[in-house]
Structure 1
């Protein structure tokens, strides 16, 4: 009878020492712990760090990933744990696939989520192909999300720690990518456990603060970055009410987002007003009462479906959806319009929904990820 070797801890039928794993290392504590743990278990680990933008400007920036300091930290972990480490120059790919779209989306009045595009178009596409070129059996990352074996293949599930869960940012992971990826931290109950593992391996990054900002947006100032990328983007215009009456002026639509209340610069009002619409063509910021923000129907496109049955096999999917990373999944009805487009009906209206954000699908319990799509303005 042919010998069928048992699965190792990564779910692969190979001896640990013969299993090559490429670990995407950002230089932070999460990916460093993944690499250190796998190396300690005896896997053939190869660390890879991506150079995504000009590090000369990034060195002085705290709280961002993939900066010059982070590359140094990733390399140091590799040296300490005794596995090879490579730095790949992905600046041009990152700009073309992520930064340019980010700027253009803001100019179009949307609120983009570039971290999702980075995972989709850079880390889980180009880097994953590089991992295969290196002969790796799988690629591991430090994301807080779980990959579980289902009856029909690998499934994507929310992290055990709801505070750290990153499923919103990984909805566009395809089934083929999921088959190859591994997320060793997804089962941990708290971030404290991760730091304890870093301390056990005596990693210098054990106490390193988490990254907070989008890596190429210093201090969270989106408008400044867009004006640098697209000179003239901050053209002034009118702030109008929902009937088109001018209430004031602004210094550029790019300074505003749907649902914004503070910083409108409109005085003498009897009730608070919120940004309810952005009209970049007319250079108008439309404001209205809070109730005008309530949305029940959400059009989505570029749907990535991770369900067991084909997306169009049902007229309606009764699932839960997440419209912002900070909000819990809420009940909804998803009606496919094609294999990549759908209309989402929220059972309870939500406020502040903006084109450019993600709509992520979950099962009724809000644990398994069924994919998702991008919110857009509709036809």
Structure 2
């Protein structure tokens, strides 16, 4: 008898190919997570499940998404931070929903179409071209011990090819690049519709000189250089956001480099805890760029000291610490 696994089936090509790969060795149950926005996702996921003759269910995650992702997303922007909703959703909404179904059907394992690997409760990078370990780095060990990532050894171009070879209905469906609950990508308009967003205020220089008017602090993020509408003797970049004064500070960008930062709420994966300085590489945003650093424990937080300055480490984003391909842990940039 094959072991059971619950797969998060999104209606996209990645999770569809993951389903087909898992079929070789597992009894696969498919779960679509419904956020209440309609669209073709549920129908596409159901079509994939039907084409593979797999059991299919949906879970309404709207309430959990609002509580654990949308409300914190809003609070972060109103406080001058730049949130990372997918990293919050994975441990608080997506994987708990998959595990809830797994427990009901007697499955030990859950799976998704992420490009990463999980081995013995340790999260590891996927192939370099598509690695998604950064966005998964808030998952605790208790979840990672029950997770499979069937695409961990594949690149996207291979997955597309497999989808066509398998005759999967969504083989040529475009990838979704936006935040799932803001499909048009206009997060500032989404925040405005929720109400109570900050009013326009002043753009100021580091010395306090007024340079112009901004549209509301929720329209800006640290390091931003486009869409400012301010002219001067040089190009301007956002170098600070001051919610208490409703100000956005602009500079020439020369003050954006940081060699140290403090991270809160560490989530340790490859180590039990950080008790002494540790040499790592660190990612400060969702890209393939890593740099050498030393991490040190500091009163329940993590001090990061980088070999070279990083441009605009952004409060609300995440720092992920690596030892080769293993995720040591992560923390929120404060």
TM-score category of the 2 structures, normalised to the smaller one: over 0.9
- Confirm whether residue 342 of structure 1 aligns to residue 302 of structure 2: yes
**Contact 2:188 2:218 (8 Å CA) reproduced:** yes
Matches within 5 A, 1:102-141: 102-141=73-112
Matches within 5 A, 1:52-71: 52-55=35-38, 59=39, 69-71=40-42
Matches within 5 A, 1:14-25: 17-25=1-9
Q: Which moved more, 1:19-28 or 1:340-349?
A: 340-349
Matches within 5 A, 1:1-379: 17-39=1-23, 41-55=24-38, 59=39, 69-148=40-119, 153-160=120-127, 162-188=128-154, 190-229=155-194, 231-267=195-231, 269-308=232-271, 310-314=272-276, 316-338=277-299, 340-363=300-323, 365=324, 367-376=325-334
TM-score by length of 2: 0.96
Q: Deviations over 1:113-150 (max 9, x none)?
A: 101111111112233233222211200110000123xx
- Matched with 1:3 is none
Q: Deviation of residue 341 (structure 1)?
A: 1.3
Query: Matched residue of 2:88: which SS?
Result: helix
Query: Matched residue of 1:94: which SS?
Result: helix
Query: Matched residue of 2:221: which SS?
Result: coil
- Matched with 1:13 is none
**Contact 2:222 2:314 (8 Å CA) reproduced:** yes
Mapped partners of 1:361, 1:42: distance in 2: 33
Mapped partners of 1:232, 1:90: distance in 2: 25
Mapped partners of 2:25, 2:301: distance in 1: 44
Query: Matched residue of 1:218: which SS?
Result: coil
**Contact 1:171 1:369 (8 Å CA) reproduced:** yes
Structure 1 unaligned segments of length 5 or more: list them.
1-16, 60-68
Query: Matched residue of 2:184: which SS?
Result: helix
Q: Deviation of residue 250 (structure 1)?
A: 1.2
Mapped partners of 1:89, 1:311: distance in 2: 35
Query: Matched residue of 1:299: which SS?
Result: strand
Query: Matched residue of 2:101: which SS?
Result: helix
**Contact 2:11 2:43 (8 Å CA) reproduced:** yes
Mapped partners of 1:358, 1:168: distance in 2: 8
Question: Are the structure 2 counterparts of residues 327 and 78 from structure 1 closer, same or farther at C-alpha, using a change threshold of 3 Å?
Answer: closer
Q: Which runs of 4+ in 1 moved over 3 A?
A: none
TM-score by length of 1: 0.85
Structure number, greater radius of gyration: 1
Question: Are the structure 2 counterparts of residues 327 and 183 from structure 1 closer, same or farther at C-alpha, using a change threshold of 3 Å?
Answer: closer
Mapped partners of 1:125, 1:345: distance in 2: 34
RMSD over aligned Cα, in angstroms? 1.4
Mapped partners of 1:46, 1:143: distance in 2: 17
Q: Deviation of residue 198 (structure 1)?
A: 1.3
